Structure 1
């Protein structure tokens, strides 16, 4: 199994970024076409991303600092639901904004490059969406 980690700086406070991790509207704004989520420990985490039905549970929710979810693809023999774990760590930056550190563990080795490309893309989208929301608010 492989692990993947990356970071992104976002021009929005942790509270704004956090909402994009624990609400259906927030998730769909940056990742996915459909989401059903209950942003609390034990709550459902369901998001359809580019035709992949991601299924899991919220394992840890510490507003607005940390979110951990179990992660897997419904029907996938390589990465079934609950196989992987994704941690989002949000840290307020001096002068404003948020540093988001992401770590995904339990990935099949062969899928790590695809997840690296996917997270790079989607975190860039999240940074833009959260910054835009912050500008409007």
Structure 2
């Protein structure tokens, strides 16, 4: 059975694998491109926590790492605290880092989303944040994180 509600994105980043991996796993580096506060426990079953910006208020996401292969792959469950449609641990984010063209190809898949609206919202969020990750990992300042722009 093919899962209908999946976000897939790729981006080439002008930085080595180890640098990009650090920006995905080190809480101090994570908050340089996404969110206000982060916590990671880099082992299977370890915590993934991110407090970010959603409109005019902060929103927290939580999950657990399923795979941690240094500089090559991350997989972790994901969901929003207090979220009814995507609660903590209800979806899966998989990120593969591939050495390519003197940089890193980031291949991200976010599966387990419940419907088309959540898929579209998360797709928009990933587009925003992967661009910010590319800037930060390449040594550019992505500026303050105001979250993806949402239309009312």
Same fold flag (TM > 0.5) = yes
Stretches of structure 1 that go unaligned for 5 or more consecutive residues are none
1:115 maps to what in 2?
122
Map 1:37-76; keep pairs closer than 5 Å.
37-50=40-53, 51-76=58-83
Counterpart secondary structure, 1:80: coil
- Choose between structure 1 and 2: higher helix proportion: 1
Find the aligned partners of 2:44 and 2:30 in 1 and give their Cα distance.
17
Stretches of structure 2 that go unaligned for 5 or more consecutive residues are 141-152
The answer to whether the aligner puts 1:101 opposite 2:132 as a matched pair is no
Listed one character per residue, the Cα deviations across residues 16-62 of structure 1 (whole Å, up to 9, x for unaligned) are 00011111112111111101111222111000121221000111000
Counterpart secondary structure, 1:29: coil
2:17 maps to what in 1?
14
Count of paired positions: 132
Q: CA deviation at 1:123?
A: 0.3
Listed one character per residue, the Cα deviations across residues 60-103 of structure 1 (whole Å, up to 9, x for unaligned) are 00011000010000111111111000001000013x10000000
TM-score (norm 2): 0.83
Aligned pair partner of 2:131 in 93, 112, 124: 124
Taking only aligned residues, the RMSD between alpha carbons, in angstroms, comes to: 1.2
Counterpart secondary structure, 1:125: helix
Listed one character per residue, the Cα deviations across residues 103-126 of structure 1 (whole Å, up to 9, x for unaligned) are 000112121111111100100000
